[in-house]
Amino acid sequence: MSKVYKMPVLMAFYNHGNILMEVSEEQLLSGWKEFFSTGTNWKDLDKNMTIQKYNSISDKEHLKKILSMPVHFLLESGRDFL
């Protein structure tokens, strides 16, 4: 997974220009799916990712990855900011 995985989380906060101070898991999931469903962004999830694999990932699996990767690392790197 490339470092682009943090973008959907930041985009959830950006909320299409209506900046949010907090986001729910549902908003994170929505931003994540919107980002990775655009063009071929899904390829950045894993070097062996195919469109079929991407389409088979459940929301629960997506959310687990969101919370364990970008959310975790953004919180760690921006403790005073986030």
3-state secondary structure of 78: coil
Task: Answer yes or no: is pLDDT of 61 > 60.
Answer: yes
State the pLDDT confidence band at 20, using cuts at 50, 70 and 90.
Answer: very high
Q: State the pTM of this model.
A: 0.78
Return the exposure string of 42-72: e unless at least 16 CB atoms fall within 10 Å of the residue's CB, then b: bbbbeeebeeeebeebeeeebbebbeeebbe
Query: Where does the pLDDT of residue 3 fall: very low under 50, low under 70, confident under 90, or very high at 90 and above?
Result: low
